[in-house]
């Protein structure tokens, strides 16, 4: 079987749509079978549309169209027991696990004094504890396989502050550190752990009332709008652009890259 990740099995969280679906499809195009996990239901506190079970089914359809196997499960990354059950079930069916993409996340932009304790908690629970739960559910299987690659989806907001997102920025810096901490200890098992830091990506995260929420926050200090500008002359990137970075980190082409941050960020973090 040809392909840059042929014969491997990849776990992707947040796989119902957006970047998670693109990651699942790109990895499948290169020969991987997929364990796809998503809450596929109402997201806490967000301004944009929540995903549905039909979204997760569409990911299944797209992967199966590529003649790859996929096991999909509706689970909440905030629930460690549910994550372990879903991942263990997928591995029992597909035989092994080599790649973990901790992608599920939420973003609730607000001016600093409009952030409620609930917004703060939901963001940290999903974006930090959810990533920890994902690695804890997946890593034992990578140890079992004799090695693998863990890819944590942070954000440009995990390298350079993005304004009007105190909880989100906090969470994305946190998982950048988490990646390095896991990389140190998992290295002995030939497991690499890296973080990915995209700039704005055109996904359903930008749907619904998201632009209104960002606009309202921006109005409190418009000068900070410049912090979102990319160095390259593009306003946004596509999920497939980030999936190419994920594929590189999943494949053996990056076999000596670990504890590293890779930024498909169009230069925003240096601008």
Ligand X SMILES: NC(=O)c1ccc[n+]([C@@H]2O[C@H](COP(=O)([O-])OP(=O)(O)OC[C@H]3O[C@@H](n4cnc5c(N)ncnc54)[C@H](O)[C@@H]3O)[C@@H](O)[C@H]2O)c1
CA distances from 175 to 48, 75, 130, 188 (A): 23, 20, 10, 21
Binding residues for ligand X restricted to 206-265, rule: CB under 6 A: none
Is residue 104 involved in binding ligand X (CB under 6 A)? yes
Is residue 126 involved in binding ligand X (CB under 6 A)? yes
Angle (CA) 103-243-72 rounded to 5° is: 55
DSSP 110-144: --GGG--HHHHHHHHIIIIIHHHHHHHHHHHHHHH
Considering beta carbons, is residue 38 or 98 the nearer one to ligand X? 38
**Alpha-carbon Rg of the chain, whole angstroms?**
17
- Per the annotation, the verdict on 120 as an active-site residue is no
Q: Which stretch binds ligand X (CB under 6 A): 57-65, 202-210, 217-225, 252-260?
A: 202-210
Please pick, from the candidates 203, 230, 258, 269, the single residue that binds ligand X as defined by CB under 6 A: 203
Considering beta carbons, is residue 138 or 145 the nearer one to ligand X? 138
Is residue 38 involved in binding ligand X (CB under 6 A)? yes
CA–CA gap between residue 266 and residue 256 (Å, rounded)? 24
Least distance in Å: CB of 169 to ligand X? Answer: 11
Residue 264 neighbours by CB under 8 Å, 6+ apart: 196, 197, 198, 199, 237, 241, 242, 244, 245
Is residue 195 involved in binding ligand X (CB under 6 A)? no
Is residue 18 involved in binding ligand X (CB under 6 A)? yes
- 216, with CB counted inside 10 A (0-12, 13-18, 19+), is middle
Is residue 106 involved in binding ligand X (CB under 6 A)? yes
Q: Which stretch binds ligand X (CB under 6 A): 176-184, 185-193, 194-202, 218-226?
A: 194-202
Segment (H or E) for 181: helix 166-186
Is residue 103 involved in binding ligand X (CB under 6 A)? yes
The encoded tokens of residue 240 equal: 């497939």
Please pick, from the candidates 12, 108, 153, 178, the single residue that binds ligand X as defined by CB under 6 A: 153
Which residues are catalytic, by number?
168
Residues that bind ligand X (CB under 6 A): 13-14, 16-20, 38-39, 43, 51, 76-78, 103-107, 126, 130, 153, 155, 198, 200-201, 203-205
């Amino acid at each position: 079987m040809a392909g840059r990740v042929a014969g491997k099995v990849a776990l992707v969280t947040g796989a119902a749509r957006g970047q998670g679906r693109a990651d699942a499809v790109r990895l499948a195009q290169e020969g991987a079978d997929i364990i796809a996990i998503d809450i596929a239901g109402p997201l806490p506190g967000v301004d944009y549309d929540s995903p549905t079970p039909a979204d997760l089914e569409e990911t299944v359809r797209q992967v199966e169209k590529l003649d790859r196997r996929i096991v999909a499960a509706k689970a909440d990354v905030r629930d460690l027991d549910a994550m372990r059950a879903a991942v263990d079930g997928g591995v029992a069916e597909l035989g092994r696990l080599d790649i973990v993409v901790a992608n599920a996340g939420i973003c609730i932009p607000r001016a600093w004094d409009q952030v409620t304790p609930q917004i703060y908690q939901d963001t940290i629970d999903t974006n930090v504890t959810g990533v920890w739960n994902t690695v804890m559910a997946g890593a034992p299987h990578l140890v079992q396989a004799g090695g693998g690659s863990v890819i944590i989806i942070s954000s440009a907001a995990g390298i350079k502050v993005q304004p009007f997102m105190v909880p989100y920025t906090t969470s994305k810096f946190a998982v950048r550190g988490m990646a390095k901490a896991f990389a140190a200890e998992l290295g002995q098992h030939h497991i690499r752990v890296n973080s990915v830091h995209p700039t704005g990506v055109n996904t359903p995260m930008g749907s619904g009332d998201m632009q209104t929420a960002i606009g309202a926050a921006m109005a409190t200090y418009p000068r900070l709008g410049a912090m979102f500008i990319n160095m390259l002359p593009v306003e946004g990137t596509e999920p497939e652009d980030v999936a190419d970075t994920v594929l590189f980190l999943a494949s053996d082409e990056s076999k000596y890259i670990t504890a590293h941050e890779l930024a498909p960020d169009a230069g925003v973090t240096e601008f």
